[in-house]
Chains A and B, each alone.
Chain A
Amino acid sequence: MTQATRIKITDVSKIYQSDTKTVEAVKNFSESVQDGEFVCVVGASGCGKTTLLWCLSGLHPATSGTVHIDGELLTKPLPDRIGMVFQDSNLLPWRTLMENIELPFQIKKKPVNRELVDELLEVAGLKGFENSYPGELSGGMKQRGSIVRALAQDPEVLLMDEPFGALDAFTREEMNLFLLKVWERTKKTIVFVTHSISEAIFLADRVWVMSPRPGRLSRIVDVDFPRPRHIDLQFEPKFIEILKSIREDVEGSKSGKGN
Chain B
Amino acid sequence: MATDNLADKIPDFNSSAGPQGGGPVDVTAIASIRRAKGLKEILSVLALAVVVVTLLEFILIWSHTEAYVFPKPTSIIRSLFTDFPTLYLKPLRQTVQTFFLGLIIGSTVGLSLAVLVTLKPGLDIFISPYIIILVTTPMVALIPFLMLKFGFGMTPRVIAISLATGPMVMINSATGFRRTNAELIALGKSYGATEFQLFRKIRFPFALPMIIVGFMVGSIFGLLTAVGAEMVGGGMGLGNRLIYFSSLVQMSQFGAVLVIVATFGVGIYSFFTFVNRKWASWDV
A complexed with B: yes
A contact residues around B2 at 8 Å (CB): 76
> For the complex, is A113 an interface residue (Cβ under 8 Å from B)?
no
State which of A60, A93, A94, A153 has its C-beta within 8 Å of the C-beta of B191.
A153
With A77-B192, A94-B205, A107-B193: A60-B187 Cβ-Cβ less than 8 Å? no
> For the complex, is A259 an interface residue (Cβ under 8 Å from B)?
no
Contact residues of B between 186 and 208, Cβ < 8 Å to A: 186-193, 197, 201-202, 205-206, 208
> For the complex, is B184 an interface residue (Cβ under 8 Å from A)?
yes
Nearest-CB residue, chain A, relative to B190: A84
Beta-carbon contact of A60 and B6 below 8 Å: yes
Nearest-CB residue, chain B, relative to A103: B201
Beta-carbon contact of A94 and B8 below 8 Å: no
> For the complex, is B81 an interface residue (Cβ under 8 Å from A)?
no
State which of A16, A87, A92 has its C-beta within 8 Å of the C-beta of B202.
A92
> For the complex, is A106 an interface residue (Cβ under 8 Å from B)?
yes
* Count of CB-CB pairs between chains A and B under 8 Å: 76
Nearest-CB residue, chain B, relative to A146: B187
> For the complex, is B282 an interface residue (Cβ under 8 Å from A)?
yes
Beta-carbon contact of A92 and B205 below 8 Å: yes
Contact residues of B between 30 and 77, Cβ < 8 Å to A: none
CA distance A17 to B8 in the complex (A): 8
Nearest-CB residue, chain A, relative to B280: A94
CA distance A57 to B189 in the complex (A): 10
> For the complex, is B22 an interface residue (Cβ under 8 Å from A)?
no
> For the complex, is B283 an interface residue (Cβ under 8 Å from A)?
yes
> For the complex, is B11 an interface residue (Cβ under 8 Å from A)?
yes
B contact residues around A166 at 8 Å (CB): none
B contact residues around A61 at 8 Å (CB): 3-4, 7
Nearest-CB residue, chain B, relative to A50: B11
From residue A11, how far is it (CB to closest CB) to chain B in Å? Answer: 18
Beta-carbon contact of B191 and A104 below 8 Å: yes
Beta-carbon contact of A75 and B183 below 8 Å: no
> For the complex, is A252 an interface residue (Cβ under 8 Å from B)?
no
With A54-B10, A59-B6, A59-B10: A90-B191 Cβ-Cβ less than 8 Å? no
> For the complex, is B29 an interface residue (Cβ under 8 Å from A)?
no
Beta-carbon contact of B282 and A135 below 8 Å: yes
A contact residues around B133 at 8 Å (CB): none
Beta-carbon contact of A60 and B201 below 8 Å: no
> For the complex, is A178 an interface residue (Cβ under 8 Å from B)?
no
From residue A232, how far is it (CB to closest CB) to chain B in Å? Answer: 35
A contact residues around B190 at 8 Å (CB): 57, 59, 77, 79, 82-84
Beta-carbon contact of B205 and A86 below 8 Å: no
A contact residues around B280 at 8 Å (CB): 94
Residue from A16, A86, A87, A106 having most chain B Cβ neighbours under 10 A: A86
CA distance A90 to B8 in the complex (A): 21
User: What class of interface size applies to chain A in its complex with B?
Assistant: 20 to 34
> For the complex, is B248 an interface residue (Cβ under 8 Å from A)?
no
Instruction: Type the 1/0 row for B98-117, where 1 means its CB is closer than 8 Å to any CB of A.
Output: 00000000000000000000
From residue B38, how far is it (CB to closest CB) to chain A in Å? Answer: 23
Nearest-CB residue, chain A, relative to B187: A90
Beta-carbon contact of B282 and A133 below 8 Å: yes
Beta-carbon contact of B11 and A107 below 8 Å: no
Instruction: Type the 1/0 row for B172-189, where 1 means its CB is closer than 8 Å to any CB of A.
Output: 000000000101101111
Beta-carbon contact of A54 and B11 below 8 Å: yes
A contact residues around B184 at 8 Å (CB): 90, 92
B contact residues around A104 at 8 Å (CB): 191
Nearest-CB residue, chain B, relative to A77: B190
> For the complex, is A66 an interface residue (Cβ under 8 Å from B)?
no
A contact residues around B282 at 8 Å (CB): 93-94, 133, 135
Contact residues of A between 88 and 136, Cβ < 8 Å to B: 88, 90, 92-94, 103-104, 106-108, 133, 135
> For the complex, is B125 an interface residue (Cβ under 8 Å from A)?
no
> For the complex, is B1 an interface residue (Cβ under 8 Å from A)?
yes
> For the complex, is A51 an interface residue (Cβ under 8 Å from B)?
yes
Contact residues of B between 229 and 284, Cβ < 8 Å to A: 280, 282-283
B contact residues around A88 at 8 Å (CB): 181, 183
Beta-carbon contact of B183 and A60 below 8 Å: no
CA distance A192 to B7 in the complex (A): 22
> For the complex, is A139 an interface residue (Cβ under 8 Å from B)?
no
From residue B167, how far is it (CB to closest CB) to chain A in Å? Answer: 27
Beta-carbon contact of B186 and A84 below 8 Å: yes
Nearest-CB residue, chain A, relative to B209: A94
A contact residues around B193 at 8 Å (CB): 107
Instruction: Type the 1/0 row for B1-28, where 1 means its CB is closer than 8 Å to any CB of A.
Output: 1111011101100000000000000000
State which of A76, A87, A106 has its C-beta within 8 Å of the C-beta of B1.
A76
A contact residues around B202 at 8 Å (CB): 92
With A79-B192, A94-B205: A60-B11 Cβ-Cβ less than 8 Å? yes
> For the complex, is A58 an interface residue (Cβ under 8 Å from B)?
yes
Q: Hey, which bits of chain B sit against chain A, CB under 8 A?
A: 1-4, 6-8, 10-11, 181, 183-184, 186-193, 197, 201-202, 205-206, 208, 280, 282-283
Q: List 19 A-B contacts (CB under 8 A).
A: A16-B8, A16-B11, A50-B11, A54-B10, A59-B6, A60-B7, A77-B191, A79-B191, A82-B190, A90-B181, A90-B187, A92-B184, A92-B202, A92-B205, A94-B208, A103-B201, A107-B193, A107-B197, A107-B201
